[in-house]
Structure 1
Amino acid sequence: MVYLFLSEPNWNADVDGDSVKLRISLLSELESVIWSMMMSGGRSEARLWLCSTIAGMTSITPRHQRELFVTLLRSTRQKKGLASLLVHMMFEKNPQKGGSILAKKSHILEKFFEGNPKRILQWFSSSSSGSGLDQGKGVKALSHFSFKNRDICWEELEWKGKHGQSPAVVATKPHYFLDLEIQRTVENFLENVPEFWSSDEFAESLKDGDIFFIDRQFFVQYFVDLMYKEDSRDVWEVINEFLIEQPFSSLCQRLLITLEERDLFYFLDLLRKLLNPRIEPKNFNNISYLFEIILSKSGDFGSIDQVLLLNAVITQGRQLLRLLREEEFHEAQAKIDKIGLKISEIPTGANSLTPLFKNICNMTTVEVLKCLGLQCWIFYYTMSQEFLTPKSWESVFTDNEIDFRRSDKYALLDHDGSSEGPDFDRRASVVVKSRKKRKGRKKKRRAFNHNDDELGFDVGSWKSDLLSDSASWLLSTDGYSAAWSSADLPEHLHRSAYIEFRCHSSASFHCFKHHWNVLRSMLRYKKYR
């Protein structure tokens, strides 16, 4: 039996000190096992889970997300790695922003092309290079500048064939510029026509940012140097604009995972200070929203380790279970099995967690959150391992006073009132139709039998498996708003239990005001009867 403690406890019940000590001790053991597993190969995954959870937050405003990332970029320790990724992202999503900056500094490209025939041909060629560049931007700038300033540079043009072209001829036939010997002409301009590299014509060719395709890393490094070495106001302005325009989820997914852990922890602290401490509960099917509530109410976590563990057990139960089932963690799984069994043997009842809640005055807020999270995760683990049939799930609902009704999304009613899977009914229907077609035959066929050995398997067993896979329920835990299948029930119920724990522990004891005042507004108590 799994008792989820969804009912409001009786706070006047006697406190069983031994029960409290045993439960907290077992949860501490569970923490050690999970943490050792994360340290021996799963820590990087735990960081990914945390970054994914943060990316799912929806209450961060564009102004706040800009403030978050700019503060991080401008922190005492320069974040050149983070800045590089951000500039990469800007070149990819909105290259025009970078192009507008480069156009103002077009003269620096004189060194970019100097001694590099490959770059020259990529940018000034009149045909597509296949790299994403539009055709002819460089040569168009070159031809416009040359014709406009023919008195100072016409002699520097190198033509294919035996003779060159005069300005008068090219004026009537501008396509003759396609006959330029590009590499030699640009090399001449690099040596003898410095005016071209600062010209409006050349700058105009750079504004859309297509030139970044030629050597992305070169331009990324150049922009990072502008940010940190020159503290370029123009660059910081476009960075600020870009940060406001991008979705928070996109920024987090691309940038956070690259941070060192201390920088990620610093980011979390900045994020916590921006969250509304009076945030109201609404959608707890969104795990990121649940974590947002926790983060806004919790104060200082102390270390990134606490955040990684808390996020893993509260919002990433399914991922943690998947990690645990990997071959290298069989020993850890065996330990958790034993811990789960011992926790289940602690006397249960409507008020069996009351002693635990009454003991929280000796814990910090983060320790309480962790304790409740670990208790809920062991619920999730037990349900995922042991409850595999509709009957077992319905016993959980009954034991925990959760009203339920079978969803008709998948199941159909048989003549005797039992539920059958749709595929099974279809199979039976096919057999009946087939029989009707063979009525005229003299040879008798045996009637369809659910346990017919000729089928090669036990149809009754097959029906049971099918029902287990397809059965779903509408529950009072969410006001019958969604149909929950056996695959999703452990996560839903473990989350419901955590929410209720937070309600009970934060709404009932004024003597714990120091630790729990910040939690009181988090959730309204909802009794599931």
Structure 2
Amino acid sequence: MIDLLLSDATGGNGGSEKFVEKRKALLNELESHLWSLMTAGGRSEIRLWLCNTIACIRSIFPIHQCELFMKLLKTSRQKRRLAAQLLELLFEKQPQKVGPIVAKKSFMLEKFFKGNSKRILAWFSNFAGPSGVEHKKGAKALSQFAFKNRDVCWEELEWRGKHGQSPAMVATKPHYFLDLDVEKTVENFLEYVPNFWASTEFSESLKDGEIVHVDKEFFVEMFLNLMYKEDMEELWDIIDEFLTGESFSFLCHHLLIVLEEQDLLYFLNTIHKFLKPSLEVTALGNPSFWLEVVLSKCSIVSVDQLFLLNAVTSQARQLLRLVREEADENEKEEVKSIVTQVCSSSGPADNLAPIMDEWPKNRNLESIKWLGLQSWAIFYRLSEGFHTSESWESLFASNGIGFRKSHKYDLIDLVEDSEDGGFEWEERSLDKVKRRKKERRSTKRRRKLKSKQSLDALLDFDFPDNTGSWLLSTDQFSATWSAVDLPEHISKHCFSTWIKLSSKEARDT
């Protein structure tokens, strides 16, 4: 049986030094194996895991998230890369905000269109047909400017066919613009009508910001120069508004992933002053609970420890998969042996109190890292060794976890109820549908087949054999837990309990 170390975690004797050092050595050895598996294919995935956990932080106010990301945009080494990612988000979600800036810089778009037929056709080919719908985008600007300045630029319009169209004819039949050779016309305007590119007509067509979707890469580079070379105040105000208006989760998911690790470390060490984690909240419902506590209590020297701590707490199943699929047989046996020893308590003296006591003394990640590794060892042991109802209920009872049996997910009963209901309906309906006996038999066969297929599909999942499900005191009996999810739930409950106790010690010191 496994001692979850919940009752002994704050043991008064502080544990034996011998047991403490042995446990630390085993946990360090486990860390070495897991770190090797986690980084075998690079570090990008574990960085993504951490960014996803950061995105779950709930205690950051909009004004503070704006300040955090603004600092990165102005001070990080990779600020242009971060800014480029931010601009793409801005273009995608709120192009109308940047449209007026493009309109003011309309003269800069001569270079944008020159020699690029794809951009020309995308923006200037939106002429209306005979239905009377209005011209759109650049087509509207081109037609309005041409009519207004027909004395000086009408000859630059290139028409398909044997002859051109007169202003009077096109004014009565605007759909004749569909016969315009758009590419040649715009090339003529680039060469001979420079006033068009600074005109009110062209500028107005840009204000909704749709132009940025024609070639985002071009406009990202244009706006980067406006940010960092011209330091355009209007653009920075728009960015400020965007960073304040979007959710912290959205910004983290889309911006933190492009940061270098040194800048991510800077972000993590800056965020602490805005965090006020509550130890009273239900930690199991907040994936970032432990991270908020850690960041609010100490300065992070190396992001590697956070990568590891996040992996063993938030990606327990993924790490187990790595062990099963990526480790060789010798490494699997070593991990199994370490976990067995870590989960084998030698008595009251072998508890976590000494490790937890290091938190208020040193205020570093070492003690919390060991707690995280201990929780993953418990997850591994429960995943590999608990396959019966008796083993789970014995675990609950021996560790002071209240439980009630639940039958909510009894699959066999569920399917049988479904089938019984079908037969009952048939009996009630028999007298009414005698004329459709053949159809009824066909329906009955399809129903049986569907029930069988539904059961087969459910049984395809990796359910432990008939272990049932429970309501637990760990979450005030609020959810039903099956054996599939219990290893993760129990290990997270252990870790959150230890982190709360450790944090209270730190707060009281």
TM-score by length of 2: 0.83
Query: How far apart in 2 are the matches of 1:393 and 1:239?
Result: 53
**Residues 404-458 of structure 1: CA distance to partner in whole angstroms, max 9, x if unpaired?**
110131249xxxxxxx754478789999xxxxxxxxxxxxxxxxxxxxxxxxxxx
Query: How far apart in 2 are the matches of 1:360 and 1:231?
Result: 45
Q: Does 1:54 align with 2:54?
A: yes
Q: Does 1:273 align with 2:273?
A: yes
1:472 to 469, 473, 480: 469
Query: How far apart in 1 are the matches of 2:349 and 2:409?
Result: 34
Q: What's the CA shift for 1:226?
A: 1.6
Q: Which residue of 2 aligns with 1:483?
A: 480
Residues 472 and 483 of structure 1 are in contact (CA less than 8 Å); yes or no, is this contact kept in structure 2? Answer: yes
Q: Which residue of 1 aligns with 2:204?
A: 204
**Residues 19-39 of structure 1: CA distance to partner in whole angstroms, max 9, x if unpaired?**
122112111211222222223
Query: How far apart in 2 are the matches of 1:231 and 1:14?
Result: 58
Residues 95 and 209 of structure 2 are in contact (CA less than 8 Å); yes or no, is this contact kept in structure 1? Answer: yes
Read off the aligned partner of 2:381 and give its amino acid letter.
T
2:496 to 496, 499, 507: 499
Q: What's the CA shift for 1:359?
A: 6.2
Query: How far apart in 2 are the matches of 1:501 and 1:40?
Result: 30
Q: Which residue of 2 aligns with 1:451?
A: none
Residues 113 and 120 of structure 1 are in contact (CA less than 8 Å); yes or no, is this contact kept in structure 2? Answer: yes
Residues 7 and 350 of structure 1 are in contact (CA less than 8 Å); yes or no, is this contact kept in structure 2? Answer: no
Query: How far apart in 1 are the matches of 2:7 and 2:291?
Result: 25
Q: What's the CA shift for 1:487?
A: 1.4
Query: How far apart in 1 are the matches of 2:173 and 2:12?
Result: 98
Q: What's the CA shift for 1:329?
A: 5.2
Q: Match of 2:404, SS?
A: strand
Query: How far apart in 2 are the matches of 1:41 and 1:331?
Result: 20
Q: Match of 2:471, SS?
A: strand
Q: What's the CA shift for 1:289?
A: 3.2
Q: Which residue of 2 aligns with 1:513?
A: none
Residues 386 and 392 of structure 2 are in contact (CA less than 8 Å); yes or no, is this contact kept in structure 1? Answer: yes
Query: How far apart in 1 are the matches of 2:323 and 2:500?
Result: 30
Query: How far apart in 2 are the matches of 1:37 and 1:107?
Result: 55
Q: Which residue of 2 aligns with 1:372?
A: 371
Q: Match of 2:301, SS?
A: coil
Rate the CA distance shift 1:156–1:494 in 2: closer, same or farther, 3 A.
same
Rate the CA distance shift 1:123–1:36 in 2: closer, same or farther, 3 A.
same
Write out aligned runs for 1:8-27 (5 A).
11-13=11-13, 15-27=15-27
Residues 57 and 292 of structure 2 are in contact (CA less than 8 Å); yes or no, is this contact kept in structure 1? Answer: no
TM-score by length of 1: 0.80
Q: Which residue of 1 aligns with 2:441?
A: none
Q: Which residues of structure 2 form unaligned runs of 5+? A: 129-133, 424-458
Rate the CA distance shift 1:191–1:468 in 2: closer, same or farther, 3 A.
same
Q: What's the CA shift for 1:324?
A: 2.2
Q: Which residue of 1 aligns with 2:426?
A: none
Q: Match of 1:473, SS?
A: strand
Write out aligned runs for 1:101-140 (5 A).
101-126=101-126, 136-140=136-140
Q: Which residue of 1 aligns with 2:333?
A: 334
Query: How far apart in 1 are the matches of 2:55 and 2:325?
Result: 26
Q: Which residues of structure 1 form unaligned runs of 5+? A: 129-133, 413-419, 432-461, 509-515, 522-529
Q: Which residue of 1 aligns with 2:306?
A: 307
Q: Which residue of 2 aligns with 1:88?
A: 88
Q: Which residue of 2 aligns with 1:255?
A: 255
Q: Does 1:7 align with 2:7?
A: yes
Higher mean C-alpha displacement, 476-485 vs 309-318:
309-318
Residues 256 and 264 of structure 1 are in contact (CA less than 8 Å); yes or no, is this contact kept in structure 2? Answer: yes
Q: Match of 1:406, SS?
A: strand
Read off the aligned partner of 1:372 and give its amino acid letter.
L
Rate the CA distance shift 1:24–1:154 in 2: closer, same or farther, 3 A.
same
Read off the aligned partner of 1:376 and give its amino acid letter.
S
Calculate the aligned-residue CA RMSD, in Å. Answer: 3.1
Q: Does 1:77 align with 2:77?
A: yes
Q: Match of 1:368, SS?
A: helix
Rate the CA distance shift 1:356–1:333 in 2: closer, same or farther, 3 A.
same
Query: How far apart in 2 are the matches of 1:182 and 1:353?
Result: 76
Residues 411 and 470 of structure 1 are in contact (CA less than 8 Å); yes or no, is this contact kept in structure 2? Answer: no
Q: What's the CA shift for 1:104?
A: 1.1
Q: What's the CA shift for 1:137?
A: 1.8
Query: How far apart in 2 are the matches of 1:330 and 1:47?
Result: 28
**Residues 197-251 of structure 1: CA distance to partner in whole angstroms, max 9, x if unpaired?**
1111111111222222322211111111221222222222222222222222222
Query: How far apart in 2 are the matches of 1:10 and 1:118?
Result: 70
Query: How far apart in 1 are the matches of 2:383 and 2:98?
Result: 51
Rate the CA distance shift 1:197–1:430 in 2: closer, same or farther, 3 A.
closer
Residues 30 and 336 of structure 1 are in contact (CA less than 8 Å); yes or no, is this contact kept in structure 2? Answer: yes
Residues 37 and 329 of structure 1 are in contact (CA less than 8 Å); yes or no, is this contact kept in structure 2? Answer: no
Q: What's the CA shift for 1:370?
A: 1.0
Query: How far apart in 1 are the matches of 2:501 and 2:313?
Result: 17
Query: How far apart in 1 are the matches of 2:468 and 2:79?
Result: 51
Q: Does 1:325 align with 2:319?
A: no
Rate the CA distance shift 1:66–1:363 in 2: closer, same or farther, 3 A.
closer
Q: What's the CA shift for 1:470?
A: 6.4
Higher mean C-alpha displacement, 466-475 vs 394-403:
466-475
